[in-house]
Amino acid sequence: SAVISQKPSRDICQRGTSLTIQCQVDSQVTMMFWYRQQPGQSLTLIATANQGSEATYESGFVIDKFPISRPNLTFSTLTVSNLSPEDSSIYLCSTTGGYTFMNTEAFFGQGTRLTVV
Amino acid sequence: GEDVEQSLFLSVREGDSSVINCTYTDSSSTYLYWYKQEPGAGLQLLTYIFSNMDMKQDQRLTVLLNKKDKHLSLRIADTQTGDSAIYFCAESISGGYQKVTFGTGTKLQVIP
């Protein structure tokens, strides 16, 4: 299994600023994922982050707005840039665990609740 | 493309059984998951089933998978007020990409 620590757990930010969310996994993992959960909605995948390569973004999400870093096999950051109230959501980090491409169960951090004012 | 659907709301009385249903479209799904999200909290993995299984039981939880109909269900026996939450069905597509696609979520309300 993989234990994911995500911080901050919540933040209130001014519009126009940026927030960087950190995700630390207790073991080396190949793939890490960032999701967004807008109020009352399900989870939507923002991007997939592989170590050593640029993140792969889903339709509707762009690198300028959601830059991602993946400096090593246990850590990733997601920045939400130029914040607007529409960015108020829960952001979750996830991994499917393991340092292989074998499919495994998915683990999630506790999420970061962002409120933009 | 992948699509996972659930009914939005379920209300049961304390002590009764709850059954939350889910349908999915991608037959290449490898893992199917049930997550629980309590108000203001993150996602808790409740249980999962591998696609070559029909059933999995874990204490009060029973997962049934009908691959032919692409139907997944979660049964909670002796439902308690602490089970009130949103339950997400999710699937993980086989292969190296491994992203998880979530259903719309079912809000379970347990009436004392």
pLDDT above 90 covers a percentage of chain A that reads 68
Give the pLDDT confidence score for residue A3 in this predicted structure.
85
pLDDT at A95: 86
Question: Residue B96: its pLDDT value, please?
Answer: 45
In this model, does residue B3 exceed pLDDT 90? no
**Nearest chain A CA: its distance from B70 CA (Å):** 19
Nearest residue, CB atoms, A42 vs list B30, B96, B102: B102
Spatial distance between the Cα atoms of A90 and A16, rounded to a whole number of angstroms: 18
pLDDT, residue A98, reads 57
Reported confidence tier of residue B63, pLDDT bands at 50, 70, 90? very high
Helix, strand, coil percentages in chain A from 3-state DSSP, rounded to 5:
5, 50, 50
Separation of alpha carbons A34 and A102, rounded Å? 19
Q: Is the pLDDT of residue A108 over 90?
A: no
Using DSSP, state whether B98 is helix, strand or coil: coil
pLDDT, residue A53, reads 80
* Mean pLDDT calculated for residue range B64-92: 94
Average pLDDT over residues A87-102: 77
The tokens describing B72, both together, are: 């997944």
The Cα-based distances of A63 to A21, A54, A59, A78, A90 in angstroms read 15, 10, 11, 10, 19
Whether chain B has a CB inside 8 Å of the CB on A92: the answer is: yes
Specify the pLDDT at position B45. 84
Q: What is the mean pLDDT of chain A?
A: 89
Residues ≥6 apart with Cβ < 8 Å to A67: A78, A79, A81
With 80 as the cut, is the pLDDT of residue B2 above it? Answer: no
Chains A and B form CB pairs within 8 A to the count of: 61
In this predicted structure, the answer to whether residue B94 has a pLDDT above a threshold of 80 is no
Q: Is A103 in Cβ contact with B31 (below 8 Å)? A: yes
With beta carbons under 8 A apart, name residues in chain A contacting B31: 103-106
Q: pLDDT exceeding 70 applies to what percent of chain A?
A: 91
Give pLDDT tens digits for B12-51.
999 999 999 999 887 777 788 899 998 877 788 898 888 8
pLDDT of residue B70 exceeding 70, the answer is yes
